[in-house]
Homo-oligomer: A and B are copies of this chain.
Amino acid sequence: MPVYIRGVGLTKVSEYWKKSIYDLVVEAGLEALDSSGIDPSEIDRIYVANALGQYINRQGHLGAYVADALGLLNTGAVRVEGTGASGSMAVYLGYKDLLAGAENILVLGVEKMTDVLPTHVYTARSLAEDWSYLTSIGTTFEGLEAILYRLYMKRYNVDQEKIAMLSVISHSHAEGVKHAQFPRKINLESVMRSPIIADPLHLLEIPAPCDGAAAVVLSKKGNVKIDAVEMSTDEFRVFEREDPLWLDAVHDSMKKALANAKLGINEIDFVELYDVSTILGVLELEAMGFADKGKGVELISEEMIGLNGKIPVNTFGGLKARGDPMGATAIYQIIEIYKQLIGEADRSQIDNAKIGLSLSLGGLGNTAVISILSRK
């Protein structure tokens, strides 16, 4: 029994000083419900993805919170947390709930980070990693990315510019995108001149703190089909992995998802990466199988991953330019694939979009989730 996306809704990713979690939830939730054409009372369950609310906003229990905000009482509602992968986990749960007999499921992701200083956001991101042996000894999430970055450049003898270029390409795809946090081009020089967060990682190679909410209605009817949602995990501490530059959870979830969807990797028309940094984007392309080990960097060009490239990537700007409201990010990705597949991607539209794939990560690939969607 196929499961479809029947309605979608999102807020622009931004810094919303005047909007609360409540405001964002209502905006995205109602848009998704309205576009689905079903009555809110027909929603069987609500899955809410949120990464940082208990730390940043002192607000937990967002399942019931969202149900209440949308005026949907007596509804089952569950909050899911897998840091950056929260949103795709929520889609996974909604998908399974439908397969188990539900009729209509609302999946909503929300994150409100900008109520606190950026230093707290950096700290919050590290909740995804081991407290006792990474965070509490002074390691940040960005620091871990930077260590992998330097290792990659050394092992494969690659210039940083070739990796940082992913940020430039992603930004070019976000130009004019209404829901993007940074809907404008940037050049490589400005990336390389931006402040260093953790050497060699620059500020313009990672997402900025932001807020946003996105929602999809899953149903037995619709115009975009879910072909597969598959999850996998890896060693929780990156330093323990046989090769720290190999994202095995990405590799494993990709393998499972393609098998489940009965597709070959060449049949994927475009990809939404989880570019929580430029270097992670490169490692993801390798682990997914789009490039050999050490060769992912060769894909980072307009010809390869541009909107008219061989395998378009981050068609609305990815985490860097569309923005990364953590718990909601994977749902933005799903909605972007939806828009491509129904031909409503505006300036980001690629030709012949029939099958789209998104990847999301929890931590440094501690979790990976692959979703594959296709036009009905």
Contacts and interface: CB of A to CB of B under 8 A. Distances in A.
Interface of A: 20, 45, 51-52, 54-55, 57-61, 63-65, 67-69, 72-83, 89, 92-93, 96-97, 99-101, 127-132, 135-136, 230-237, 248-249, 252, 362-363, 366-367
Contacts of A65: 130, 236, 366
Contacts of A131: 57-59
18 contacts: A59-B131, A60-B83, A60-B128, A61-B236, A61-B363, A63-B82, A63-B233, A63-B367, A65-B130, A67-B233, A68-B236, A72-B233, A73-B233, A73-B248, A93-B93, A93-B96, A99-B100, A100-B100
Chain A binding surface, main DSSP class: mixed
A235 B73 contact: yes
A362 B65 CA distance: 11
Given A61-B362, A63-B82, A77 B367 contact: yes
Contacts of A230: 76
Nearest to A57: B131
Contacts of A81: 54, 60-61, 79-81
A130 B79 CA distance: 15
Contacts of A99: 99-101
Contacts of A233: 63-64, 67-68, 72-77
Contacts of A363: 61, 64
Given A73-B233, A82-B64, A58 B127 contact: yes
A186 B209 CA distance: 52
A59 B127 contact: yes
Q: Lowest 6 A-B CB distances belong to which pairs?
A: A76-B231, A60-B127, A99-B100, A68-B236, A64-B366, A96-B100
Given A54-B55, A96-B96, A100-B100, A367 B232 contact: no
